[in-house]
Amino acid sequence: MSGRPDRLTWLGHATAVIDLDGVRLVTDPAVTTRMGHLRRRAPAVRAPEDADAVLISHLHLDHLHGPSLRTVGAPIAVVPRGGARHLRRSGADVREVAEGDEVAVGPVRVRAVHAEHDGRRWPGRPAVPALGYVVRGSRSVYFAGDTDAYPGMAALAAEALDLALMPVWGWGPRLGPGHLDPRSAAEALTLLRPRRAVPIHWGTYAAAWARRRPAAAAREPAEEFARHAAVVAPEVEVVLLRPGDATPLDG
Structural domains present in the chain? 7-248 (3.60.15.10)
User: Three-class SS of residue 13?
Assistant: coil
Calpha distance 6→248 (Å, rounded): 6
Residue 165 makes CB contacts below 8 A (sequence gap 6+) with 8, 14, 16, 27, 141, 142, 143, 144, 197, 198, 200
Using DSSP's 3-state secondary structure scheme, residue 98 falls into: coil
Q: What is the chain's pLDDT, residue by residue, as a tens digit (251 residues)?
A: 567 899 999 999 999 999 999 999 999 999 999 998 999 999 989 889 899 999 999 999 899 999 999 999 999 999 999 999 888 878 889 999 999 999 999 999 999 999 999 866 655 566 789 999 999 999 999 999 999 999 899 999 999 999 999 999 988 777 777 899 999 999 999 999 999 999 999 999 998 888 777 766 689 999 999 999 999 999 999 999 999 999 999 87
Which residue spans within the chain are E strands per DSSP? 7-12, 15-20, 23-27, 34-35, 38-40, 53-55, 76-80, 93-97, 102-105, 108-114, 131-136, 140-143, 163-167, 196-200, 205-207, 237-238, 246-248
Residue 99 burial (C-beta neighbours within 10 Å; 0-12, 13-18, 19+):
middle
